[in-house]
Amino acid sequence: MNYEILPNGLSVPKIGFGCWKIGGEHSADPSLDGWSLAALRSALELGYTHFDTAETYAKGHSEELTGQAVRESGIDRESLLITSKVTPAHLGYQSVLDACAGSLRRLQMDYLDIYLIHWPAPNMPLEDTFRAFNQLVEEEKVRHIGVSNFSVEQLQRSQALCATPIVTNQVPYSLGDRSYVKNGMLAYCQENDILLTAYSPVAQSGMKINPALGSIADAHGATVQQIALAWLVQQKRVITIPMSGNPKHQADNLAAAGIVLSEAEMQILG
């Protein structure tokens, strides 16, 4: 397993497990519980240690199932890195505290490793948000703070308000989506020791835009999806959180962190 290690000592796997669609999408779907738990169990058995969920995923049911799978696995909680997110509707001081308490209750855990603002919102009360975040860190209910889908300006404002280093901005990034490269976010994160967590890392559009992708995959005895992931995580301060319920695909995703692309291949992919 390859890691990004930040100056504050936080070590995060290059490839984690995204929990969107675990337990449902925008609402809970108990008919998916068997599939969801099987997906989480196989991920844990394969050696995934970073699990990324949110209070809005399946209206909290994703957190419930993630916690259940961790407890049933018998794996030491301290060996895992659990991320969750607060919705933009809950960014007031008390609302953040209540939201975090709800996430911990659903996960049946004592703390979150990383807690993110899920989306920016107009007129965000960031002073209140970070007053609550800072309190949660002081109370050891949260170990590290991050954001998601933030612009450089919003990230800088968050840094000024956070008593501890902002550890990540989670954004869409893939071969087919370079919007957070174009807006300067990737360079800013790399220059400031902030992880850029790439979600939707193997969007199908990215599988089609570069005719060299297939030949590079063949040269490494890998799938095009693995090369797309390897391209991401070979970049400084970039990690990613693909999701799959298929154990074979989960193993392939995890193995992608070990694929070393040449400088020429990285340039060809762009």
Write down the pLDDT at residue 239.
98
What is the C-alpha separation between 138 and 14, in angstroms, rounded? 27
Which residue numbers are catalytic?
57
Is position 58 within any domain?
A: yes
Is position 230 within any domain?
A: no
Please give the single-letter amino acid code of residue 117: I
Instruction: Write out pLDDT tens, residues 223-255.
Output: 999 999 999 999 999 999 999 999 999 999 999
Write down the pLDDT at residue 209.
62
- What CATH number does residue 105 fall under? 3.20.20.100
User: Does the structure show a pLDDT above 70 at 207?
Assistant: no
Tell me what the pLDDT averaged over the chain comes to: 96
Is position 208 within any domain?
A: no
Instruction: Write out pLDDT tens, residues 9-24.
Output: 999 999 999 999 999 9
Instruction: Write out pLDDT tens, residues 171-190.
Output: 999 999 999 999 999 999 99
Q: Which range marks the domain in which residue 56 is found?
A: 3-201+236-243
Question: Are 139 and 110 contacting, i.e. CB atoms less than 8 angstroms apart?
Answer: no
Is position 207 within any domain?
A: no
Write down the pLDDT at residue 206.
56
Question: Are 123 and 93 contacting, i.e. CB atoms less than 8 angstroms apart?
Answer: no
Strand partners, 196: 169, 238
Mean of pLDDT values over 67-83: 98
Instruction: Write out pLDDT tens, residues 6-60.
Output: 999 999 999 999 999 999 999 999 999 999 999 999 999 999 999 999 999 999 9
Write down the pLDDT at residue 204.
62
Is position 213 within any domain?
A: no
Write down the pLDDT at residue 133.
98
User: Does the structure show a pLDDT above 60 at 113?
Assistant: yes
Mean of pLDDT values over 255-265: 97
Percent of residues, the chain, with pLDDT higher than 90: 96
Is position 86 within any domain?
A: yes
Is position 227 within any domain?
A: no
| Number of domains making up the chain | 1
pTM of the model: 0.97
State the pLDDT confidence band at 211, using cuts at 50, 70 and 90. Answer: confident
User: Does the structure show a pLDDT above 80 at 191?
Assistant: yes
Write down the pLDDT at residue 203.
74
Mean of pLDDT values over 79-107: 98
Is position 32 within any domain?
A: yes
